[in-house]
Structure 1
Amino acid sequence: MIVVHHLENSRSQRVLWLLEELGVSYEVHRYSRDPATLEAPPELRRIHPLGKSPLLEDEGQIWAESGAIVEYLADRYGRGRLWPAEDGPQRQQLRYWLHYAEGSLMPLLLLRLVFDRVRKAPAPWLVRPVIRGVDDKVSRAFISPQLDLHLDYLESHLGRSTWFGGDSFSAADIQMSFPLEAAAARGGLESSRHPRLDAFLVAIHQRPAYQRALQRGGPYAYA
């Protein structure tokens, strides 16, 4: 039996969704974040030394990293659904989005989250202007322009195909969901400027398998 070590409000929601799309049986071991730090609990380190989520157990092996898990599950259980059965240009295209989601887009969103937290964190009043100044400079000079560049790129891509991997829904769309949900929640993704990305989020949230995954995983804050 597949076991998903599922941390609330995390990337592991995508793994539950993929398993629901594939119709594969699995168990969920749920973990809660520390209410003060929002960090994962130490119990996850018993499964993997880094103590991160998602973690997946299958056939005696531990899988970490959401992109690797998504590819493994789609390749192992997809039987040509959501992931090409044979290697070739289409599989390479889908694999690109698996890596792009975490390697290119997500770091920018994490930077925005970190700087937002630093800006809001308690600090002596003499230091606050310095913190705000650094935050404003980094956001205006790097984070916001780069986010705009990437979101415009994705908006343009969806102007050429219905889904990220082409005209059919695939594992690539599941992988891309988390950073786009984060962009919509944290700012940067604007419906007026990115209507195709906004429509993409509406479409995936309406999928029955997505809804079933929410029921299995519990409440999910997209940010």
Structure 2
Amino acid sequence: MHRTQHQQEYNLSRDMSLPIIRVHFLNKSRAFRVLWLLDQLKLDYEIVPYRRDAGFRAPEELKKHHPLGRSPLLELEDRQTGKKKILAESGYIFQYVLKHFDKTKSLDNEDIDKSEEIQYYLHYVEGSLQPPLLIELLLSIVKNASVPFPFSYFSRKVAEKIGEKYSAGELKSQLNFIEGQIAKNDGYLVGGKLSAADILMSFPLDSAFNRQFADPKQYPAIEKWLKNLKTFESYKVSKSKAEANGEEF
């Protein structure tokens, strides 16, 4: 069915009212989730790609856009004035996009309590979930480091003790919490449907399984949830774009 001239003009007007959106995308970072968020909302955007150096550091070029030189960054340029705004930190980027671009609340929720739950997860992911995962990652690097004996023995023992005393147990508590939330919300984190919380939370949980910090068989709800998320067309579209810009899955 052909769109009427009125519909075409309306859509053009609606699109032109939005800023130009650019994602400053670094490979092997958390930037993929921002692509997925924007694709799920069917927003047009540009990708500005960057590659990590041999030392796994982000290039200095990113610091031209934000002093910390990290990714993701979301750049918004006003179409009339050319004024630019740079947003940093994944949780804040998600919060901003939901507020300003998700007018139908397709990734938010009309229910105020459920909307607040989504906001909670946008903070929870970095405040509670990521720290034990980061420590487990660092400990795994220490355990597998090329260190001569007997130093390798002592470094592994120290790493194992830190994991036993803190990060492994803390991660288990976090995963048990998330497992229960998904199980009671019909396979999603909030309200039985896809939300921004699911998209943002997918990265650390997928990483936990892929890096063998946790056994997926012990968390069947999370495992099923992750598999389901990867069936969304927006995920596949974003994955294709990310791979074209240096990401590996």
Normalising by structure 1, report the TM-score.
0.93
Q: How many pairs were matched up?
A: 220
Q: SS of the residue aligned with 1:108?
A: helix
Are residues 1:10 and 2:29 paired? yes
Q: SS of the residue aligned with 2:57?
A: coil
Q: Which residue in the other structure is 1:191 paired with?
A: 216
Matched to 2:86, the amino acid is I
Any residues of structure 2 matched to 1:20-169 within 5 Å, and which? 20-35=39-54, 37-59=55-77, 60-79=84-103, 80-84=105-109, 88-162=112-186, 163-169=188-194
Q: SS of the residue aligned with 2:217?
A: coil
Give, in whole Å, the separation in 2 of the partners of 1:188 and 1:115.
11
5+ residue gaps in structure 1? Answer: none
Give, in whole Å, the separation in 2 of the partners of 1:188 and 1:112.
7
Shift of 1:191: 2.6
Cα contact 1:4–1:16 (8 A) shared by 2: yes
Cα contact 1:4–1:28 (8 A) shared by 2: yes
Cα contact 1:157–1:164 (8 A) shared by 2: yes
Matched to 1:15, the amino acid is V
5+ residue gaps in structure 2? Answer: 1-19, 78-83
Cα contact 2:136–2:213 (8 A) shared by 1: no
Which ranges of 4 or more aligned residues in structure 1 deviate by more than 6 Å?
none
Shift of 1:159: 1.3
Q: Which has the larger radius of gyration?
A: 2
Q: Which residue in the other structure is 2:81 paired with?
A: none
Shift of 1:18: 0.4
1:136-181 per-position Cα deviation (integer Å, ceiling 9, x unaligned): 1111221111111111111111111021122111111111111111
Give, in whole Å, the separation in 2 of the partners of 1:179 and 1:191.
13
Cα contact 1:30–1:217 (8 A) shared by 2: no
Give, in whole Å, the separation in 1 of the partners of 2:156 and 2:72.
34
Query: Kindly tell me: are residues 85 and 29 of structure 1, through their superposed partners in 2, closer, same or farther at Cα, counting changes over 3 Å?
Result: farther
Shift of 1:126: 3.1
Q: Percent identity?
A: 35
Query: Kindly tell me: are residues 103 and 221 of structure 1, through their superposed partners in 2, closer, same or farther at Cα, counting changes over 3 Å?
Result: farther
Give, in whole Å, the separation in 2 of the partners of 1:138 and 1:109.
13
Bigger shift: residues 184-193 or 37-46: 184-193
Any residues of structure 2 matched to 1:162-177 within 5 Å, and which? 162=186, 163-177=188-202
Q: SS of the residue aligned with 2:74?
A: strand
Q: SS of the residue aligned with 2:87?
A: strand
Normalising by structure 2, report the TM-score.
0.84
Shift of 1:121: 2.3
